Amino acid sequence: MSTAYDRLAARFERIATLGEASSVLSWDAATMMPPGGGKARGDQLAVLAGLSHSLLVAPVVGGDLAEAEAAGETDPWRAANLCLMRHAHTRATAMPPDLVEAQARANSASEKVWREARRQSDFAMVRPHLEQVVCLVREAAAALAPALGLSPYDALMDGYQRGVRTAGVAKLFAEYEDFLHWALPRAEERQARHPPPLQPLDPFPVAVQEALCRRLAEHLGLDFGRARLDRSAHPFSGGTPSDVRITSRYDEKDFAPAVLAVVHETGHALYERGLPPAWARQPVGEAAGMAAHESQSLIVEMQACRSDGFLGWLGQDLHAAFGGDPAPYQAGNLGRLWRRVSRGFIRVDADEMTYPAHVILRHRLEKALVEGSLVVADLPGAWNDGFRALLGIAPPDDARGCLQDIHWYEGAFGYFPSYTLGAMAAAQLMAAARREVPDLDAALARGDLSPLLIWLRVKVHGMGSLLEFNALLSQATGKPLDPADFEAHLTARYLG
């Protein structure tokens, strides 16, 4: 006879399977779906969202939770899984089914219009759709807040990273803004004293880039027996832990965006592949949150693969692929190319020192949109004013301003802080790995990430969602999130 816990586990497995189907459909929409399929795909995703929600909020779930909690769990993984089930049930029961489906449809419609609005740099085109998305986000946040005992915006952030709160984020971001105020001009001054880096000569055929990127991802540890590399307008990682999908985009005049995007997305994919298989399709077997996820993409891309040692190895592979003068592919030159500070408008192209400014701006704006102190019509002006205050420049058009990211237009509010929290965590994890893994940098100089990956499998990947973000960092590094390691990393790389 099945216990209450067993019944819950079976139900959550079904919910996770529906989520996997939604993930693959979303991947297809971004990579292969013809333009005319958008309306039907929105309906499909909305129905799957509604089915998942109905499975989660059914009265029997509440009864089984109460019975399982009363019985108690001594195993820490089962206990954590039960706690996460309760949390998911609480979030879901706060949301009426019609609101869940309305959000799915509004997000899908908005995202499709956003693609054309960005192409035309026309915010007015997508504004009514974003207004509908924001209205529904506010409704959802207002419903979630009392159920979780959080503020509306904190309730949204909780959906992406458990345990992260506005007060803590505001403190971390204010500290970083102070650091950036003096560090960025000093880095620019130091950079100006050196000759500009050599540019590899184009063209770089897309087929050659794609083959190189596949080899590189495989070399980093991605098993293409359970992964794919495809093309999309915006690089991302999706799919499921046993069927990971990563994408990139290619430019025949510059191979760097594709290579660096694949390295970044491979970091995400390796995390998914390293999650504890014994807890597959259970809440405790999932990644620990989006800040944790970003830490894994960034520890691979920024910390490991942009290190001096790894660039020396990678440069040889790049030169073998593209030929020409070997000088631009030397480690020192690649470092000057890929570790160069620049006050630019586009977040995804930003260097690691100015990138947090992009996130800080979005965090403040989305919080104001949720709280109602900023209306959608005023977003472009507020964006430009905030960007000027942080980086001293303002975008010349909305395509390079408030239209550049997909997140808000598909309803993802509360997500942006994860990027910079992840960057800070990546630096903290890398500092700990260097202390604990003998000859880590020597391995990176051979292009070998396996010592780092083995360490991450134990410290992060294999932990699933057993621990909240700060507890996970404390166990792995000896302390909760501390921006000091990130600032030390930037100081050594850009000011040393």
The DSSP string of 321-366 is HH-S-SGGGSHHHHHHHHS-----S-GGG--TTTHHHHHHHHHHHH
Q: How far apart are CA 271 and CA 422, in angstroms?
A: 13
Residue type at position 132:
Q
Structure-token match 């949390």, residue found: 87
- Residue 3 CA to residue 303 CA, distance in Å, equals 46
d(CA 119, CA 114): 8
What would the two tokens of residue 282 be?
Answer: 């259970």
Residue in 258, 255, 250 with CA at minimum distance from that of residue 202: 255
Residues 6+ apart with CB under 8 A from 271: 287, 292, 293, 296, 297, 456, 460, 461
Within 13 Å, how many C-alpha atoms sit on residue 387's CB side? Answer: 23
> What residues are labeled active site?
265
Query: How far is 34 from 214, CA to CA, in rounded Å?
Result: 25
Helix/strand/coil for 171: helix
Q: How far apart are CA 95 and CA 411, in angstroms?
A: 15
Q: Which residue has the tokens 């597959």?
A: 280
Beta bridge partners of 247: 230
User: For the CA atoms of the chain, what is the radius of gyration?
Assistant: 23
Question: Is 491 exposed, middle or buried (CB count within 10 Å of its CB: 0-12, 13-18, 19+)?
Answer: middle
Sequence-ordered list of residues with C-beta below 8 angstroms from that of 296, at least 6 positions apart, any chain: 267, 268, 270, 271, 422, 426, 456, 460, 461
Contact present, 246 and 269 (Cβ < 8 Å): yes
